[in-house]
Amino acid sequence: MARDFEDHCWKDVVDPDTLQIYQAYRRKTYVGDKPAVLAIDLYNKAYLGGDRPVKEVDRQFSGSCGENAWRALPPTQKLFAASRRAGIPVIYTTRHVDTGGVHSTNRNASREADDIYDIKAELAPQADELVIYKERASAFFGTPLIAHLQQKRIDSLIICGESTSGCVRASAVDAYSHGYHVVLAEECCFDRSLLSHKVNLFDMHHKYCDVMHLDEVIAHLASQPAVKKAS
Amino acid sequence: MARDFEDHCWKDVVDPDTLQIYQAYRRKTYVGDKPAVLAIDLYNKAYLGGDRPVKEVDRQFSGSCGENAWRALPPTQKLFAASRRAGIPVIYTTRHVDTGGVHSTNRNASREADDIYDIKAELAPQADELVIYKERASAFFGTPLIAHLQQKRIDSLIICGESTSGCVRASAVDAYSHGYHVVLAEECCFDRSLLSHKVNLFDMHHKYCDVMHLDEVIAHLASQPAVKKAS
Amino acid sequence: MARDFEDHCWKDVVDPDTLQIYQAYRRKTYVGDKPAVLAIDLYNKAYLGGDRPVKEVDRQFSGSCGENAWRALPPTQKLFAASRRAGIPVIYTTRHVDTGGVHSTNRNASREADDIYDIKAELAPQADELVIYKERASAFFGTPLIAHLQQKRIDSLIICGESTSGCVRASAVDAYSHGYHVVLAEECCFDRSLLSHKVNLFDMHHKYCDVMHLDEVIAHLASQPAVKKAS
Amino acid sequence: MARDFEDHCWKDVVDPDTLQIYQAYRRKTYVGDKPAVLAIDLYNKAYLGGDRPVKEVDRQFSGSCGENAWRALPPTQKLFAASRRAGIPVIYTTRHVDTGGVHSTNRNASREADDIYDIKAELAPQADELVIYKERASAFFGTPLIAHLQQKRIDSLIICGESTSGCVRASAVDAYSHGYHVVLAEECCFDRSLLSHKVNLFDMHHKYCDVMHLDEVIAHLASQPAVKKAS
């Protein structure tokens, strides 16, 4: 719990001069009031090719996060279990296979199988959980997410999923802009590029979000009185 | 003109395996139709303490980008001059000193002088140019920018300013989400952290924007017929 | 063509004093450049119970616009045909049957058949036409419509559909806010309440939109050179 | 308190058939949890020319609501006093005199005095109250209002001001779309056109908001424990 503000995965890529410049952002991190988990793009496509290096799976499955995705799978299952125990809603994002030409990034896309945007079975939504379909990187852009959050009286978010440098970042920045306190569960975020993963977590931690280790988030959730799920 | 898609400042920090993974994003970059320049947060605060290393100016002027800001000043003057010659509008963002508690990042702020959010004199807006006041990182969030772009029939943006990893990135992602073709003028973007600058340009180039060198942008603007400025 | 600015369906409900107060809004109406048709909520539910008075169909089919819907059907077919001939895209809105609790109005809803939000067969989208699924009154709220409009370089809208005092109005106000010139095709808009229909058209004509008669819109479209459809 | 759902100012303009059609919207009205007052455009311009019929003041002061504005002044003072006693924040909207060409409606505007968009002295904001500057009809469009509401943990709104058929309506619809429970304080809303005032309140009451009489709202506020003002 008493870890340092900079005790995170970016330690080996951000130099001491830069850390010193960012001293002004130091503060106590915390999980906010009335949180929801926002699980970004945990669909099959991210896991294609299996638990192997990204550069290997990428040859056949462009867009897969390979071993980075698989490494985050057990921690994400733990996060979901602890959240549901504490009565905290889990909200998912994914996308439709065909969106009429509006895409979340500029990647040259080829034809895609029908189930690649289904949520990975091990992380599947429960019957009453909300799935938001988006066409852009941010979970807020072009979706009714803000209305659902307001109707459920959710006041903060715990964000996980992929990619750290893409849809997670765009969603986290938008959540901060809308006035939410945002936690990123470090071990539950992943990317195809480790450097982008680390630098984006560094950027967000200092500017917009509290990057917290999963055990810190879990300890917080376990300390909450069990509440019945919001209808 | 015929430079490689990856011939940019991130070459010395992104490893070959990662570049290979991102092959699917290769495409021809270009300045879009009916562009406007969007100049992000070129206010005095970014230049405080003068043309010295960030870690030195930061002691007295938290938030200054020091020598990184000053290095981008002449290229940005060139970009503005070429844009005005070609009849392309320059739109600025800045912020009010006091915004009632909604801030663009989590930095611990102290009291600030009255002119620190005035646009730097060397880059000042001309009499008829639009200045957007924002409270969050993105030039689109909580501002009427989209209405002004639509009324001026602007169909693409050339973005410059600071910080690459903060307000430039948030604005560029939002511009892409809204359907604009976005160019980032590499030498006219700056940040306090060189690593964040490089990795964010890398991220945006592959996902959302065309990062172009200033000479490529200038060559494009010079090739356009001179048009009279939109009223 | 040379009809008076106030020669519209509201003449019999708005008194002369009020018309005089609104003199300052008089101007020449016109169809804007690069328009798209935005067809609001032309789904089966609006036509249920057939071409009979609303108070009769309402007993069995709450939400039906009865004879008001059926009266607007042939003019709307004409509008669509003329638009397609002129190469102008037709964009539809509808909604999903189940949206997890976020609704476009406060009506007490009962269980609904599966096809009630399918577009009415006589007005059905063609294979390549865009359908936007929304959960709120406005076609812009919580949808990626703005990105599609921008990507297609659409600069103005011709709005039709239902209800005039609900989703048409909310969509028209949002379109104006975003900077689009908006035309409402009078004979192609409908409502369950004639008074609300007339007063809302009056409000929008003076504040935000050009309410035009269908023959004026058709004459404009027929005068355009036939263009091939945008891809 | 036990007034009928339809016991409002629109009784003399909406016919019985229409009221019957709208039966499905009947429900119990209420002030929501953690409300804020949203006071729309209570600036000097609305009161110019004094407490006289709109058609008289309009000759000299286009845009004035004349006697309709003045009639709503004492009730609005009561609403503000009761809200402040109950620790409920009052948030104002107004606009800047010059907004670079983006306007809230299509009115042909002439040059305007510098103080016409200052809030009317009798209703002036207190030192710590928020004023939102907008360029369009809705208080949400192109403003950071949503971030302020979220940061203050406001979960519902009590809307008053002008015009009922313009900025009040656009703001109320947007508030509903964002997921807020919205109350309109009937006697504190006004318009230049009585017919538009009544029909717009009717529309909003059935579709999006609870139109409540001021005495009902005051009774609710008086029943709340006095709380200290949110910082």
In chain C, which residues have their Cβ closer than 8 Å to the Cβ of B147? 177-179
Sheet containing C181-190: give its strands across.
Answer: C131-133, C90-94, C35-40, C156-162, C181-190, C210-212
Closest to D166 (Cα-Cα) out of D110, D215, D204: D204
Closest to C34 (Cα-Cα) out of C210, C161, C138, C181: C181
How much is the pLDDT for B103? 76
Q: Is 80 exceeded by the pLDDT of residue C2? A: no
- Is the CB of residue C126 less than 8 Å away from at least one CB of chain A? no
What the block records as the tokens of C214 is 């269908």
In chain D, which residues have their Cβ closer than 8 Å to the Cβ of C54? 17, 21
How much is the pLDDT for C228? 53
Which SS3 state, helix, strand or coil, does residue A213 take? coil
Q: How confident is the model at residue D107 (pLDDT cuts 50, 70, 90)?
A: confident
Rounded Cα–Cα distance for residues D188 and D168 (Å)? 11
Sign for the pseudo-dihedral over CA of D90, D95, D97, D99: positive
Rounded Cα–Cα distance for residues D152 and D130 (Å)? 11
- Is the CB of residue B146 less than 8 Å away from at least one CB of chain D? yes
Closest to D158 (Cα-Cα) out of D96, D101, D105, D80: D80
How much is the pLDDT for C227? 58
pTM: 0.94
Sign for the pseudo-dihedral over CA of D92, D96, D100, D105: positive
In chain C, which residues have their Cβ closer than 8 Å to the Cβ of D108? 24-27
In chain B, which residues have their Cβ closer than 8 Å to the Cβ of C178? 146-147, 150
Would you say A104 and A134 are in contact if contact means Cβ atoms under 8 Å apart?
yes
Which pLDDT tens digit goes with each residue over B8-47? 999 999 999 999 999 989 999 999 999 999 999 999 999 9
CA atoms within 13 A on the CB side of B66: 17
- Is the CB of residue B65 less than 8 Å away from at least one CB of chain C? no
Query: Tokens 């560094």, residue?
Result: A202
Closest to D107 (Cα-Cα) out of D45, D175, D160, D50: D45
Contact C208 D105 (CB under 8 A): yes
- Quickly list DSSP for chain C: ----TT-SGGGGTS-HHHHHHGGGG-------SSEEEEEE--BGGGGTT-SS-HHHHHHHSTT--HHHHHHHHHHHHHHHHHHHHTT--EEEEE--S--TT--SS--------TTTTSBPGGGPPPTT--EEE-SSSSSSTTSSHHHHHHHTT--EEEEEEE-IIIIIHHHHHHHHHTT-EEEEEEEEEE-S-HHHHHHHHHHHHHHT-EEE-HHHHHHHHHTSPP-PPP-
Which SS3 state, helix, strand or coil, does residue B34 take? coil
Closest to C178 (Cα-Cα) out of C152, C207, C155: C155
Q: How confident is the model at residue B231 (pLDDT cuts 50, 70, 90)?
A: very low
Rounded Cα–Cα distance for residues B217 and B212 (Å)? 7
How much is the pLDDT for D3? 85
Q: Omega before B64 cis (within 30°)?
A: no
* Burial annotation D29-66 (CB, 10 A radius, 16+ → b, else e): bebbeebbbbbbbbbbbbbbbeeeebeebbeebbbbbb
Non-local (6+) Cβ contacts of A184 within 8 A are A158, A159, A160, A168, A172, A201, A204, A205, A209, A210, A211, A212
Would you say D39 and D84 are in contact if contact means Cβ atoms under 8 Å apart?
no
Nearest neighbour of A108 by CB, restricted to B27, B58, B207: B27
Average pLDDT over residues D183-207: 98
Residue C37 pairs in a beta bridge with C90, C158
Rounded Cα–Cα distance for residues C115 and C96 (Å)? 10
Would you say C33 and C86 are in contact if contact means Cβ atoms under 8 Å apart?
no
- Is the CB of residue D208 less than 8 Å away from at least one CB of chain A? no
Query: Tokens 């300052």, residue?
Result: C24
Q: How confident is the model at residue A231 (pLDDT cuts 50, 70, 90)?
A: very low
How much is the pLDDT for B230? 45
Contact D208 C106 (CB under 8 A): yes
DSSP element (H, E) containing A147 = helix A145-151
Residue D160 φ then ψ, to 5°:
-145, 170
What the block records as the tokens of B1 is 């003109």
Query: Tokens 């048009």, residue?
Result: B227
Q: Is 90 exceeded by the pLDDT of residue C97? A: no
Contact D203 C196 (CB under 8 A): yes
How much is the pLDDT for D207? 97
How much is the pLDDT for A104? 77
* Burial annotation C62-89 (CB, 10 A radius, 16+ → b, else e): bbbbbbbbbebbebbebbbebbbebebb
Kindly tell me the number of DSSP H helices and DSSP E strands found in chain A.
7, 6
Chain B closest-CA separation from residue A170 CA (Å)? 7
For C11, other C-beta atoms within 10 Å of its C-beta total 12
Contact A179 D148 (CB under 8 A): yes
Would you say A35 and A156 are in contact if contact means Cβ atoms under 8 Å apart?
yes
Q: Omega before A231 cis (within 30°)?
A: no
How much is the pLDDT for C114? 79
Which SS3 state, helix, strand or coil, does residue A82 take? helix
Q: What's the alpha-carbon Rg for chain B, to the nearest Å?
A: 17
What the block records as the tokens of B130 is 């639009």
Would you say B67 and B53 are in contact if contact means Cβ atoms under 8 Å apart?
yes
- Is the CB of residue A111 less than 8 Å away from at least one CB of chain B? no
How much is the pLDDT for D226? 64
Contact C101 A148 (CB under 8 A): yes
Which pLDDT tens digit goes with each residue over A84-108? 999 999 999 999 887 666 777 777 6
Q: Hey, which of A101-115, D2-16, D165-179 has the most confident mean pLDDT?
A: D165-179
Rounded Cα–Cα distance for residues C35 and D23 (Å)? 38
Which SS3 state, helix, strand or coil, does residue B62 take? coil
Q: Omega before A163 cis (within 30°)?
A: yes
Among A50-59, A141-150, C101-110, name the one with the lowest average pLDDT.
C101-110
Rounded Cα–Cα distance for residues C159 and C178 (Å)? 15
Rounded Cα–Cα distance for residues D33 and D157 (Å)? 9
Rounded Cα–Cα distance for residues C71 and C51 (Å)? 8
For B219, other C-beta atoms within 10 Å of its C-beta total 14
In chain C, which residues have their Cβ closer than 8 Å to the Cβ of B178? 146-147, 150
Would you say A176 and A209 are in contact if contact means Cβ atoms under 8 Å apart?
yes
Chain B closest-CA separation from residue C193 CA (Å)? 32
Non-local (6+) Cβ contacts of B151 within 8 A are C179, D101, D102
Nearest neighbour of A178 by CB, restricted to D147, D153, D180: D147
- Is the CB of residue C157 less than 8 Å away from at least one CB of chain B? no
* Residue A193 burial class via C-beta count within 10 angstroms: exposed 0-12, middle 13-18, buried 19 and up: buried
Rounded Cα–Cα distance for residues D192 and D200 (Å)? 12
Non-local (6+) Cβ contacts of B161 within 8 A are B38, B39, B40, B41, B42, B76, B93, B167, B168, B188, B189, B190
Would you say D210 and D30 are in contact if contact means Cβ atoms under 8 Å apart?
yes
Rounded Cα–Cα distance for residues C83 and C78 (Å)? 8
How much is the pLDDT for A2? 63
Average pLDDT over residues C180-190: 98
- Is the CB of residue A147 less than 8 Å away from at least one CB of chain C? yes
Average pLDDT over residues A165-184: 98
Q: What is the mean pLDDT of chain A?
A: 93
Which pLDDT tens digit goes with each residue over D119-158? 999 999 999 999 999 999 999 999 999 999 999 999 999 9
Q: Is 60 exceeded by the pLDDT of residue D171? A: yes
Which pLDDT tens digit goes with each residue over A211-230? 999 999 999 999 987 655 44
Q: What is the mean pLDDT of chain C?
A: 93
How much is the pLDDT for B2? 63
How much is the pLDDT for D230? 45
Q: Is 50 exceeded by the pLDDT of residue D231? A: no
Nearest neighbour of D146 by CB, restricted to A151, A153, A179: A179
**Contacting partners of chain A (3+ CB pairs under 8 A):** B, C, D
Average pLDDT over residues C86-92: 97
Q: How confident is the model at residue D111 (pLDDT cuts 50, 70, 90)?
A: low
Distance of CA B61 to the CA centre of its chain: 21
